Amino acid sequence: PIVRAQLTASSAAYPLVEQFYPYRYDFTSYHQGSWPRSLAFERRKQTSRLRHDLLLLNWEGAALWRFGIDDAEQSEPLSSQLPAAMFKTLLVAGLPDYGVQLKPRPEGQAPPPESTLDRLALLQQIRALPLLPDTSEDLTVTDGKEFIHYRVTVIKRELIQAAAGSRSAWKIRVEGFESDHGEERFRHRPVYIWISDDQRRLPLRFVIRHAVGTFTVEMQPGSAIQSVANAISVNEVKRH
């Protein structure tokens, strides 16, 4: 079965962020949770400009394609560029047939490693992990340009004060690596995710530290995940 996941984020509710870095994100992932691997990833991202593109992973032909959507130049309909079975599967799962709105991006032609995920499918895979201390899993993630090695580690269960109140949650560390002259090094500082300790396994909080401060995303009661500029202590996100 194909899992369709969607995430929308906006800075509209936060005047300070809106003043310096306004953004609107809309991500949709189509992936096979039992494999796990992605089939398609649609991204609509607007900051200083709008970027709308589609990533397709054809596992029959071991190919990865990237398309721009609504570009001035036009290409062939999506139905003529994909294997018939894959096209039908994605349409049934809810992917729009953008027809001649698609323009191939030449940089997205590398064959994907087995079980490659998009970024939103990575979050879904994290939610499916066995939630036990020291559980770790290595995953491959792509944005269509490159393949990134991620290591996901369950740290501990703890009580947190989230927007929805006091919640029991699992703290998870996500580390990204890149190759540097044959050796792996950290691609960015670790991202910490708190997943609710219940059957829904909701992502309650994301935290990443930058040179300018700490960026936090929390789930708000009765709404989608939204960004919040919460300051937290260094001890809360230190590496264990």
Mind listing the pLDDT tens digit for each residue in 142-160?
Answer: 988 888 899 999 999 999 9
**Do both 89 and 181 map to the same domain?**
no
Q: Where are the beta strands (DSSP E) in the chain?
A: 3-10, 24-32, 37-46, 50-58, 63-69, 102-105, 116-117, 136-142, 147-162, 165-180, 183-186, 191-196, 203-210, 213-219, 225-228
Last residue of a domain, one of 77, 105, 133: 105
Quote the pLDDT of residue 194: 94
Indicate if the pLDDT at residue 236 is higher than 50: no
Quote the pLDDT of residue 223: 52
Strands 203-210 and 102-105: unpaired
d(CA 15, CA 217): 16
pTM for this entry: 0.79
Task: Give residue 14's domain range.
Answer: 3-105
The DSSP 8-state label assigned to residue 143 in this structure reads -
C-alpha distance from residue 180 to each of 61, 108, 174, 185 (Å): 29, 21, 20, 7
Stretch among 83-92, 107-116, 124-133, 218-227 having the lowest mean pLDDT:
218-227
Assigned domain for 112 exists: no
Assigned domain for 110 exists: no
What pLDDT digit, counting tens, does each position of 174-227 carry?
A: 999 887 777 777 778 899 999 999 998 989 999 988 777 788 888 766 554 443
Beta bridge partners of 156: 171
Assigned domain for 211 exists: yes
Q: Integer distance in angstroms from the first to the last C-alpha of the chain?
A: 37
d(CA 197, CA 131): 9
Indicate if the pLDDT at residue 91 is higher than 50: yes
Burial 139-171 (b: 16+ CB within 10 A, else e): bbbbebeebbbbebbbbeeeebebeeeebebbb
**Do both 67 and 134 map to the same domain?**
no
Assigned domain for 231 exists: yes
**Do both 19 and 54 map to the same domain?**
yes
Indicate if the pLDDT at residue 239 is higher than 80: no
The domain tally of the chain equals 2
